[in-house]
Amino acid sequence: MAAALAAGTAQPQFMASTGGSNRPNEPLIENIEYDQIVVPDEKSWKNLFAYMGPGFLVSIAYIDPGNFQTDLQAGAQYKYGLLWIILLASFAALIIQMLAANLGVVTGKHLAEHCRKEYPKVPNFILWILAEIAIVACDIPEVIGTAFALNMLFNIPLWCGVLITGLSTLVLLLLQQYGVRKLEIFITFLVFTIAACFFMELGYAKPKSSEVLNGLFVPQLKGSGATKLAISLLGAMVMPHNLFLHSALVLSRKIPRSVSGIKEASRFYLIESGFALTVAFLINVSVISVSGAICNSSNLNPDDHQNCKDLDLSKASFLLKNVLGKWSSKLFAIALLASGQSSTITGTYAGQYVMQGFLDLRLKPWIRNFLTRCLAIVPSLIVAIIGGSAGAGNLIIIASMILSFELPFALIPLLKFTSSKTKMGLYANSCLVSAVTWMIGSLIIGINVYYLVEKLVVSLRDNHLKVVGTVSCGVLGFAAMLVYLASIAYLVIRKNKAGTAPSYIKHIRESWNSQWFG
């Protein structure tokens, strides 16, 4: 028991895999300790403590400012009509994150490393560019959310808050170099505090359970606006960078390389991720339900009615007035600040793994964060100056949509790698898991394509250009769509490289065969 507890309470270690690097066991994130957490080689539920950590770090992305923004607008505009998207996305996220964790556990290499070994130079480079764009798109809501929080706390203009965010996360990363792990615990505590407030607010809002259940289990999309928000919700829930991140975070545990050891690791990571993502699911459902119940109430005062018409993060604190009273704005701002900063830290880790995996290139965390943040600040600053808070809120929705469109370029390689017996041996996806995950991927691609086609057709129909201009825009639009679909088709159709499984997987396979077939 002592060994398990010691392993569970040890600080997380983020290690580069030993599978494909010329620098074995070299720590990927320089400011984090060198040794992996050793999991005791004994069957016990107490070992669960040793596996706690990666799932919760990944789950932070499911309750970031981007999620809050899309949840608030979904509830205000469509009441409970888009709750089914949250349920579907959470179910999909659990399965997909399980596959990402299994890939790292079984092979000892994370997703980006597998991509570098699997694909030719040009496709690998394009996948890296797309992954970097996804990380920048993920960072935009954190920038804007932090700027909104600073505005609510100190009345700092939104554009000025955007500039300040360029330094805020660097300060947190600097503190982490001194081992301040309690900072992450404090940040997570603040985020879950605001979640508790939304749970309590449900008691005041009193949404009808029948309507909530109908929203959860009866799919509906009423118009292009609903489709746009549905794509944003998918992008905010199932993020491409999380697949790279989770497959790498599990390498922080040194597990027994045996059939039982790998099975135990996969099982405990599933339990841990399931618990963390269930909490995130309940938070998102509560935010939509509170927003939907209050903003669709018949007895709203004029100020609240106006807030609901154009609801964004800067106005959302009024939803918590029943619980927090006059402090609702300040406390919501603190939680929003915490959410943005904690998400940015995990985004920095993901960026490190992506760059190391695709390019075998390592940067210091502060340099990596600074580059990503600069790319995220530029569009955020322009929109904040020109469009104000409404424009910034819309930019969050657009960033979430970008994440949804980018998801197939991380998801398809993950599905193919985890279905490969060459890479995974006995732990390759079963036919049922493969069928479910490919259905999820097809649904995501289908919703994306439906929205693109609908938006393009409406734009061509309602524009005021001359015929030549309309035709040119149509040709370019459909050409871009064909490139998008062709790129996805390439990843789906392309056969995995022939190769051999890692030596320990072959050893396990031989042990398994001798055990059952003599």
Is 265 or 18 the better-scoring residue by pLDDT? 265
Q: Which residues pair with 107 in a beta bridge?
A: none
Average pLDDT value for residue range 261-270: 88
111-160 confidence digits (pLDDT tens): 999 999 999 999 999 999 999 999 888 888 888 888 888 888 898 998 89
Q: What is the pLDDT of residue 439?
A: 92
Average pLDDT value for residue range 203-225: 86
Q: Does domain 59-253+274-517 have CATH number 1.20.1740.10?
A: yes
By the 8 A CB rule, do 361 and 355 touch?
Answer: yes
Q: What is the pLDDT of residue 127?
A: 96
Burial tier of 271 (Cβ tally within 10 Å: 0-12, 13-18, 19+): middle
How far CA 290 is from CA of 218, 310, 321, 397, in Å, comes to 19, 16, 12, 19
Most confident of 132-136, 411-415, 443-447, 496-500: 411-415
Q: What is the pLDDT of residue 434?
A: 92
Give the Cβ contact number of residue 206 at 10 Å: 10
> Does pLDDT of 506 surpass 60?
no
Q: What is the pLDDT of residue 48?
A: 76
Mean pLDDT, the chain, integer: 80
> Does pLDDT of 81 surpass 80?
yes
416-465 confidence digits (pLDDT tens): 999 998 888 888 999 999 999 999 889 888 888 888 887 788 777 877 77
Above pLDDT 90, what percent of the chain? Answer: 25
Q: Which residues pair with 253 in a beta bridge?
A: 37
The span from the CA of 85 to the CA of 81, in Å, is 9
> Does pLDDT of 267 surpass 80?
yes
Average pLDDT value for residue range 493-501: 75
Q: What is the pLDDT of residue 27?
A: 39
Q: What is the pLDDT of residue 49?
A: 76
Average pLDDT value for residue range 370-386: 81
Residue burial 45-69, b: 16+ Cβ < 10 Å; e: rest: ebbbbbbbbbbbbbbbbbbbbbbbb
* Confidence at 171, pLDDT banded by 50, 70, 90: low
Q: List the structure tokens of 518.
A: 């003599």
> Does pLDDT of 346 surpass 50?
yes
Most confident of 105-109, 192-196, 262-266, 507-511: 105-109
| Dihedral sign (CA 248, 252, 257, 261) | negative
